[in-house]
Amino acid sequence: MNNYTVNKLKILANAAKYDVSCSSSGSNRPNSGNGFGDAAPWGICHSFTEDGRCISLLKLMLTNFCIYDCAYCVNRKSNDIPRSTFTVNEVVNLTVEFYRRNYIEGLFLSSGVLVNPDYTMERLIQIAKELRTKHNYHGYIHLKSIPGASAELNYQAGLFADRLSVNVEIATEKNLKMLAPDKNFQSIFHPMTAIQHRMVENKEERRKFRHAPQFTPAGQSTQLIVGATPDNDKHILSLADNLYSTKHLKRVYYSGFIPVNPDDKRLPAINEPPLKRENRLYQADWLLRFYHFSIDEIVNDTHPNLDLEIDPKLSYALRNPWLFPIDINKADYETLLRIPGVGVKSAKMIIVSRRYRRLTSLNLKKIGVVLKRAKYFITCNELKSEGVNELLPNKVKEILLTENKSKRMQRSLYQQLRLFPLN
Amino acid sequence: MMNLFIYDQTFEGLLTAIHDAFEMKINPDKIVSTKSFQDDLFAAKYKVVTDTEKFDKLWNLIKSKSSEQNCQRIFKAFLSELTGIEIIIYNYVQLIVETDYNVELDFSKDAVLKLNNIQKKVGRESHRVIMFTRFQKTIDDIFYASFDPKYNVIPLTISHFRSRFTDQKWIIFDTRRKYGYYYDLERVREITIGKNKINFENGKIDEDVLHVSEKLFQKLWKNYYDSINIKERKNLKVHMQFLPKRFWKYLPEKDFKNNVKKRVLIP
């Protein structure tokens, strides 16, 4: 480890940064009393970059040399960029030393394809194995499964890693083939299915033998790039929904397309990444996973794209005004979750608190319900005010949007008034 | 006449005070620690003698009336050290003890909401310590980190560090309250340290006691931090919200500033 490593680290962290997955949650690898590290079931962030993203894992590429030439990727072989490769020892050392200083929760290791997929995968496994066996490391490890690597190697990787992932990147096969001529859906879904089957088997084994080794206890995840192809939100969310239900993925990440290769004619020319759209997709993803929504309630043939102005739940409520108002004191948990401005936490708290008394809007406010939005969609123990059916959906949308805008205006006005820069 | 209870600043002391107030059927207007006590001519003063038996009795009563978790919440609220926290806890305990059902989740009650808001803040601060602690390795292989958390949360973080860093010696020190914990590979114990070799302003250890490799790893970490940032997605508002400025001085990735810039005041 010396200044030469600093340079390598710069190149290979820079190469890995477009993979958005950074969660360290969902595993359970308690420290057995020797060694160090402890993968907690809830993730922990240790820092935040200026783009507002959390740093939980040491996210690195083993190498940014690659034999593939995918249009959306910064590391594609036709790019003229500084290239480097870590040794197994360097990655192991960095992980151990960073972890011991409480900089990170664990390691996220991906790689370009060096020589061939199996050769690359073997190196990733070696790193994970050394951490686990030589250093007695119990922290989090997320490994990328290299497309095309053998099933046997994927199996080995899963024994040391907490999470494995294969990135789909592009939501439709036609567009994937256009941007990444070396890839197809089969090469992506095949390892995903293999990992899934292995996880099911492992669960069964562990039921019989308590000490059978764990296989990827934090499951698998994937990433979809948003805005690099003309695919609409329905394509993207249907694929995600499908992956959640058939492949039992823990997470699907959405990554707003950043034009890393601006000269490539196959890609759209954009000035800034579609961050709003990415945000709306995550909100829709949450509705699928935690709010008991079904996919066609969020996007369907009449509404193939999410509304960028308002969040998908509000948008759903405004499209279906006849479902409202919902009675806070009677509705069941699933129905409460449909109210804009009521989240999982407040819905649970409503259920708990209304055992003691009928709730009023003051109670709701204290519970944390966003009344500004919710008030058009509920009735509680109070005189009824004008709701979505009296005002009509368009009017409600208009009110909520102007409220937001005026708030933003006030803020910028306040900033203008400052004569002297604070800080 | 105002009723003033004076206790010894410990949690056991506070619960003894509450126990005594219940027993004597006196409503305290104020419960203060001996440290923050200012003599008040017109108050009826009660000096509380901390009694573990009384503490256990009340503690078990609270547990039976509510839950183990609820006891933890009360303890967390106590660690906030906010002025007036004693009366908030008194009101809460009184409500728990006097209500015939378990009132701990009835958020329409003011006392419940008040205590919960405070204990939540304390919980969040202790989580921040877990997130933003940065150990520096010393020449004798001890990993040192210091902090000045808003609330007295270091005790809440010890079990986390204890189960995570089992094969390295470490120290976590609260520079505001001037105490900390040292893990010597066997047990964790409370310690105090003098100011020599440690800059209490920014938690930095003097260079002559730093491990030879320490500077390099700080540099590596700083470079990693800068490289992983995506410039096209710059969002300083969110950045500042998640990484409050008061922690920057402890973070190598934020340059480990020697002196935190003073705010320029508007004349």
Q: Using the beta-carbon criterion (under 8 Å), do A100 and B239 form an inter-chain contact?
A: no
Picking from A123, A151, A177, A140, the residue whose alpha carbon sits closest to that of residue A37 is: A140
Cβ atoms of residues B192 and B180 within 8 Å: yes
Nearest chain A alpha carbon to B141: A100
What is the distance between the alpha carbons of residues A360 and A352, in angstroms, rounded to a whole number?
14
Cβ atoms of residues A201 and A255 within 8 Å: no
Long-range contacts of range A174-177, CB-CB < 8 Å, 24 or more positions apart? A175/A229, A175/A230, A175/A231
Work out the number of other CB atoms within 10 angstroms of the CB of residue A296.
13
Q: Give residues 55 to 74 of A whose Cβ lies within 8 Å of B.
A: 55, 58-59
pLDDT of residue B258: 42
Q: Using the beta-carbon criterion (under 8 Å), do B263 and A14 form an inter-chain contact?
A: no
Residue B150's pLDDT band (cuts 50, 70, 90): very high
Cβ partners under 8 Å of residue A2, min gap 6: B216
Inter-CA distances, A321 with A317, A379, A384, A395, Å: 6, 14, 16, 12
Q: Using the beta-carbon criterion (under 8 Å), do B230 and A34 form an inter-chain contact?
A: no
Inter-CA distances, B1 with B25, B47, B63, Å: 15, 16, 33
Residues on chain A touching B244 (C-beta within 8 angstroms): none
Residue A219, chain B, CB below 8 Å: the answer is no
Cβ partners under 8 Å of residue B263, min gap 6: A422, A423
Residue contacts between A and B (CB atoms, under 8 Å) = 156
pLDDT at B266 over 50: no
Residue A2, chain B, CB below 8 Å: the answer is yes
pLDDT of residue A279: 93
Burial (0-12, 13-18, 19+ Cβ within 10 Å), B43: middle
pLDDT of residue B202: 81
Inter-CA distances, A410 with A309, A397, A414, B240, Å: 19, 20, 6, 20
pLDDT of residue B134: 94
Picking from B93, B146, B156, B147, the residue whose alpha carbon sits closest to that of residue B124 is: B156
What is the distance between the alpha carbons of residues B24 and B40, in angstroms, rounded to a whole number?
21
Residues on chain B touching A18 (C-beta within 8 angstroms): 230
> Helix (H, G, I), strand (E, B), or coil: what is residue B172?
strand
Burial (0-12, 13-18, 19+ Cβ within 10 Å), B257: middle
Picking from A167, A174, A103, A91, the residue whose alpha carbon sits closest to that of residue A134 is: A91
pLDDT of residue B44: 85
Q: Give me the phi and psi of A49, to 5 degrees please.
A: -80, 170
DSSP annotation string for B123-143:
HHHHHHHHHH---EEBTTSEE
Q: Using the beta-carbon criterion (under 8 Å), do A38 and B237 form an inter-chain contact?
A: no
pLDDT at B148 over 80: yes
Q: Using the beta-carbon criterion (under 8 Å), do A366 and B108 form an inter-chain contact?
A: yes
pLDDT digits (tens, 9 = 90+) for A259-296: 888 888 888 888 888 999 999 999 999 999 999 999 99
Q: Using the beta-carbon criterion (under 8 Å), do A53 and B230 form an inter-chain contact?
A: yes
pLDDT of residue A412: 61
pLDDT of residue B12: 94
Work out the number of other CB atoms within 10 angstroms of the CB of residue A32.
10
pLDDT of residue B261: 45
Q: Using the beta-carbon criterion (under 8 Å), do A101 and B242 form an inter-chain contact?
A: no
Residues on chain A touching B228 (C-beta within 8 angstroms): 13-14, 16-17, 49, 55, 59
Cβ atoms of residues B103 and B109 within 8 Å: yes
Please give the biggest Cα pair distance in chain B.
Answer: 66
Query: Considering CB atoms only, which of B108, B165, B234 is closest to A353?
Result: B108
Residue A5, chain B, CB below 8 Å: the answer is yes
Residues on chain B touching A345 (C-beta within 8 angstroms): none
Nearest chain A alpha carbon to B247: A47
Q: Using the beta-carbon criterion (under 8 Å), do A13 and B167 form an inter-chain contact?
A: no
Q: Give residues 383 to 412 of A whose Cβ lies within 8 Å of B.
A: none
What is the distance between the alpha carbons of residues B174 and B177, in angstroms, rounded to a whole number?
6
Q: Give residues 261 to 290 of A whose Cβ lies within 8 Å of B.
A: 272-273, 275
pLDDT at B259 over 50: no
pLDDT of residue B193: 84
Work out the number of other CB atoms within 10 angstroms of the CB of residue B131.
19
The helix-helix angle for B85-98 and B68-79 (nearest 10°) equals 160
Residues on chain B touching A258 (C-beta within 8 angstroms): 230, 232-233
pLDDT of residue B232: 86
Residue A363, chain B, CB below 8 Å: the answer is yes
Question: Phi-psi region for residue A248, left (φ > 0), alpha (ψ -120 to 50) or beta?
Answer: left
Residue A366, chain B, CB below 8 Å: the answer is yes
pLDDT at B257 over 70: no
pLDDT at B226 over 70: yes
Query: Considering CB atoms only, which of A356, A366, A420 is closest to B266?
Result: A420
Work out the number of other CB atoms within 10 angstroms of the CB of residue A71.
19
Work out the number of other CB atoms within 10 angstroms of the CB of residue B38.
6
pLDDT at B100 over 70: yes
Q: Give me the phi and psi of A29, to 5 degrees please.
A: -135, 70
Picking from B75, B90, B88, B85, the residue whose alpha carbon sits closest to that of residue B27 is: B90
Which neighbouring-strand residues pair with A96? Answer: none
pLDDT at B115 over 90: yes
User: For residue A400, what are its two tokens?
Assistant: 């909520």
DSSP run (H or E) holding B118: helix B110-132
Burial (0-12, 13-18, 19+ Cβ within 10 Å), A128: buried
Residues on chain A touching B143 (C-beta within 8 angstroms): 100-101
The residue among A48, A81, A137, A277 with the most chain B CBs within 10 A of its CB, best to mutate, is A48
Residues on chain A touching B157 (C-beta within 8 angstroms): none
CA B18 to chain A, closest CA, distance in angstroms equals: 27
What is the distance between the alpha carbons of residues A218 and A172, in angstroms, rounded to a whole number?
27
Residue that has been written with the tokens 């609220």 in this structure: B77
Q: Using the beta-carbon criterion (under 8 Å), do A1 and B234 form an inter-chain contact?
A: no
Regions in chain A scoring below 70 on pLDDT = 408-423
Q: What is the pTM of this model?
A: 0.89
Work out the number of other CB atoms within 10 angstroms of the CB of residue A246.
12
pLDDT digits (tens, 9 = 90+) for A289-310: 999 999 999 999 999 999 999 9
Residue A257, chain B, CB below 8 Å: the answer is no
CA A102 to chain B, closest CA, distance in angstroms equals: 6
pLDDT of residue B221: 95
What is the distance between the alpha carbons of residues B160 and A391, in angstroms, rounded to a whole number?
52
> Could you write out the three-class secondary structure of chain A?
CCHHHHHHHHHHHHHHCCCCCCCCCCCCECCCCCCECCECCCCCCCEECCCCCEECEEEEECECCCCCCCCCCCCCCCCCCCCCECCHHHHHHHHHHHHHCCCCCEEEEECCCCCCHHHHHHHHHHHHHHHHHHCCECCEEEEECCCCCCHHHHHHHHHHCCEEECCCECCCHHHHHHHCCCCCHHHHHHHHHHHHHHHHHHHHHHHHCCCCCCCCCCCEEEEEEECCCCCCHHHHHHHHHHHHHHCCCCEEEEEECCCCCCCCCCCCCCCCCCHHHHHHHHHHHHHHHHCCCCHHHHCCCCCCCCCCCCCHHHHHHHHCHHHCCEECCCCCHHHHCCCCCCCHHHHHHHHHHCCCCCCCHHHHHHHCCCHHHHCCCEECCCCCCCCHHHHCHHHHHHHHHHHHHHHHHHHHHHHHHCCCCCC
Residues on chain A touching B127 (C-beta within 8 angstroms): 44
The angle at the Cα of B105, spanning B101 to B110, to the nearest 5 degrees, equals: 95
pLDDT digits (tens, 9 = 90+) for B24-55: 999 999 899 888 777 777 788 889 999 999 99
The residue type found at B248 is W
Look at A42-51, A99-108, B97-106, B236-245 and tell me which has the smallest mean pLDDT. Answer: B97-106
What is the distance between the alpha carbons of residues A118 and A286, in angstroms, rounded to a whole number?
35
Burial (0-12, 13-18, 19+ Cβ within 10 Å), B195: exposed
